[in-house]
Amino acid sequence: MSAPAVLMGVNPGVLTGVESAVLMGVDIVEADRLARAAERGGEVFARHVTTPAERAFGPGLAAFSVKESLIKAVGVRPPGFTWQDFEAVADAPSGWPAGLLDEAAEELSASTGVSMTGGTTYAVRGASARAALQQLRAGAKEAAGAARWGEGGGLFVSLAVVYAVDASLEATVEATVEATVEATVEATVRVEEEGSPS
């Protein structure tokens, strides 16, 4: 018998009540549970969660978990939310925090034992973009996202960051990288130590 699914998110801006340079979310779910949901929902599930462009390009089965981690990064499903608020895109917007994502993915891999082998960037639009911008640096006008994911040990793990699209972001990100990674790892360890919710 496998363990119950664990779903969690970390958003340092929400946790500390301070403005963030980036927002981060994590989703950990049983891989077979995710596969069953996709199989049960079929094409209807795929159309509900992904855009036509994503179905041609995107992360396939990973889409649901990755978008859950993007939602957790934003901290809420705001009024007007749709799954299409997040769309996998081939080209990274300017200023995306590749170093932060790689560092956080390495830490999460170490704490979960799941190698984060997949990844892509995301356009963030609509209600989710508006909710993210309320938490990001003052003056930010556009939000984007990036995600890494992997599967192993019966788990599917995804990690996402949502950030302000700004060429000067990298300088600002360094101020929050360490706290963001530490909060993610601490929350993951806490969930593992406390056990899965019933």
In tens, the pLDDT along 105-146 reads 999 999 999 999 988 889 999 999 999 998 886 677 889 999
Say how far apart CA 78 and CA 127 lie, in whole Å.
6
pLDDT in tens, 40-90: 888 888 888 888 888 876 557 788 899 999 999 999 899 999 999 999 887
CA pseudo-torsion sign 120, 121, 127, 132: positive
Q: Is the pLDDT of residue 171 over 70?
A: no
Say how far apart CA 25 and CA 95 lie, in whole Å.
19
pLDDT at 45: 84
pLDDT at 42: 82
Across the chain, mean pLDDT equals 78
**3-state DSSP: the chain helix, strand, coil percent, rounded to 5?**
50, 20, 30
Range name among 22-36, 42-56, 92-106, 151-165 with the lowest pLDDT average:
92-106
